Chains A and B, each alone.
Chain A
């Protein structure tokens, strides 16, 4: 009997099958906004129906159960090696039970051993903190939305984007335009201004751990988030790119310092099937409470 293993399998099941409450509220609001009888409205209705069905049947919301991203905050002295080994077992078990698709492919020879475990899968992000708590967050990020992510290096002459917040605004909106419906919109943007090419994308994904309704404590970024959300929803791309009122459900932006020579803006796009859950665990690994 391995308590931690059971907890992690349950976190994976819940992430794959149950959309977080904040995302569901946002989807319902966007369904209300779409014009009655439009194909955008019918797309949102199918999405809403799908959310209910997945939860009821305890099966994946989307068949692309995506990259498996664990974010673990743990106290000093926490055994990361044991945790990671158990997480790999949990992923294998969750795959056997159909909570995850056999989704991990050897990039050299194309082989798929059906376990979802291999180099880089699952992806683990550990963070030590002073608190006694163990918090495990999981994001399952599908390939369709990952493929429409983008990284811009400023200045960008074609988009007339300079090294300032207005330049950031231009490239982020360009990412929305280029994505159209291909990332399964309406989506959520996680954005990082600054960092290097690796930390920029990593931090942009971390923004997706924030609640959709929260507000950015940094005034300039809050203004930019609200502006991009509103502007994107005026473009008429709509659900699935069918045309319509809701192109994005949310925009979350963080900033990292950069070196003087570099100015990256990294954009991660998350589909409407925003699979993100998390739980606090006790020291023996049992589930204490859910975080979303």
Chain B
């Protein structure tokens, strides 16, 4: 596994290639459907959220308050990223994102934004909510909780050795495009 630790500089991101297994340590912000639509429509980032050189995680975690009143993430796998395709490229550009964690991959516009602005798509294992929750060391804060509800809020998470695979890099390669093309050709050979 290649360690990727904060600060997430453009050099570190450009060094990553499709197929690399990466372990992330540092701060990530969750953001999914409601947050992407909100930012796309010109909504302001809440004070305290800085996405510059940051990583956004497509995730709606299960978060409970423990006996002391502190937030504790009890399940935190990725959600399907392709729903953010209409917004992601613009958000990478405008907020200077360096990484997007999700699952299932994204489309051409996001791939182009990764190439142009030095960003990378990091695929977490869908459904692996417990393994990934174990990598969340601390919930640092939560934003827009009232407005969007718990799964759709922005959770500021400190993670350690969070396992992902680079499936779209900053050099124009997408594993998702490649697997789709290969599987489409295989299928064509198997239907009359």
* Chain A residues within 8 Å of B, Cβ to Cβ: 39, 42-43, 46-47, 49-50, 53-54, 57, 59-65, 98, 101-103, 105, 110-112, 114, 142-144, 147, 160, 166, 169-170, 173-174, 177, 180-182, 184, 231, 234-238, 240-243, 271-273
Between A103, A182, A236, A237, the greatest number of chain B beta carbons within 10 A of the residue's beta carbon is seen for: A182
Bin chain B's interface residue count.
35 or more
Question: Are B179's CB and A180's CB within 8 A?
Answer: yes
Q: Which residue of A lies closest to B184 (CB)?
A: A177
Select which of A53, A57, A62, A105 is within 8 A of B127 by beta carbon. Answer: A62
User: Complex: how many Å from CA A187 to CA B21?
Assistant: 23
Q: Which residue of B lies closest to A173 (CB)?
A: B187
A104 to chain B, nearest CB (A): 10
With A46-B125, A102-B149, A102-B151 already in contact, the answer to whether A243 and B179 are too (CB < 8 A) is yes
Select which of B134, B150, B180, B186 is within 8 A of A112 by beta carbon. Answer: B150
Chain B residues with CB under 8 Å of A169's CB are 191
Chain A residues with CB under 8 Å of B125's CB are 43, 46-47, 50, 240
Interface-side segment among B6-14, B46-54, B58-66, B110-118: B58-66
Binary flags per residue of B95-133, CB closer than 8 Å to A gives 1, else 0: 000000001110000000000000000010111111101
Question: Are A271's CB and B127's CB within 8 A?
Answer: yes
User: Complex: how many Å from CA A174 to CA B187?
Assistant: 8
Question: Are A184's CB and B151's CB within 8 A?
Answer: no
Q: Which residue of A lies closest to B59 (CB)?
A: A63
Question: Are B150's CB and A60's CB within 8 A?
Answer: no
Between A166, A237, A271, the greatest number of chain B beta carbons within 10 A of the residue's beta carbon is seen for: A237
With A39-B19, A59-B74, A243-B175 already in contact, the answer to whether A180 and B104 are too (CB < 8 A) is yes
Question: Are A241's CB and B127's CB within 8 A?
Answer: no
Question: Are A64's CB and B60's CB within 8 A?
Answer: yes
Select which of B60, B127, B191 is within 8 A of A101 by beta carbon. Answer: B60
Question: Are A63's CB and B182's CB within 8 A?
Answer: no
Task: Say yes or no for B68: interface residue by CB 8 A criterion.
Answer: no
Select which of A111, A147, A182, A231 is within 8 A of B149 by beta carbon. Answer: A111
Chain A residues with CB under 8 Å of B55's CB are none
With A112-B150, A235-B183, A242-B165 already in contact, the answer to whether A63 and B34 are too (CB < 8 A) is no
Question: Are B126's CB and A240's CB within 8 A?
Answer: yes
Q: Which residue of B lies closest to A273 (CB)?
A: B127
Chain A residues with CB under 8 Å of B178's CB are 243
For the A-B complex, the count of residue pairs with Cβ-Cβ distances under 8 Å equals: 165
Task: Say yes or no for B80: interface residue by CB 8 A criterion.
Answer: yes
Select which of A59, A114, A237 is within 8 A of B179 by beta carbon. Answer: A237
Chain B residues with CB under 8 Å of A49's CB are 128, 131
Q: Which residue of B lies closest to A51 (CB)?
A: B130
Chain B residues with CB under 8 Å of A63's CB are 59-62, 75-77, 129, 133
Chain A residues with CB under 8 Å of B103's CB are 144, 181-182, 184, 240
Task: Say yes or no for B88: interface residue by CB 8 A criterion.
Answer: no
User: Complex: how many Å from CA A169 to CA B192?
Assistant: 11
Q: Which residue of B lies closest to A237 (CB)?
A: B183
Question: Are A50's CB and B167's CB within 8 A?
Answer: no
**19 pairs of residues in contact across A and B, judged by CB atoms under 8 Å:** A42-B21, A43-B165, A50-B131, A53-B130, A60-B130, A62-B77, A63-B60, A64-B77, A101-B75, A102-B151, A105-B149, A144-B126, A160-B191, A173-B190, A177-B180, A177-B184, A180-B105, A242-B175, A242-B179
Question: Are B186's CB and A234's CB within 8 A?
Answer: yes
Select which of B133, B150, B187, B192 is within 8 A of A114 by beta carbon. Answer: B150
Other A-B pairs, 16, CB within 8 Å; known A98-B62, A144-B104, A243-B175? A46-B125, A47-B127, A60-B129, A62-B129, A63-B77, A98-B74, A101-B62, A114-B150, A143-B79, A166-B192, A173-B187, A180-B179, A181-B126, A182-B103, A240-B103, A243-B182
Task: Say yes or no for B140: interface residue by CB 8 A criterion.
Answer: no
Question: Are A182's CB and B80's CB within 8 A?
Answer: yes
User: Complex: how many Å from CA A110 to CA B34?
Assistant: 9
A108 to chain B, nearest CB (A): 14
Chain A residues with CB under 8 Å of B21's CB are 39, 42
User: Complex: how many Å from CA A39 to CA B165?
Assistant: 8
With A62-B75, A144-B103, A180-B104 already in contact, the answer to whether A112 and B151 are too (CB < 8 A) is yes
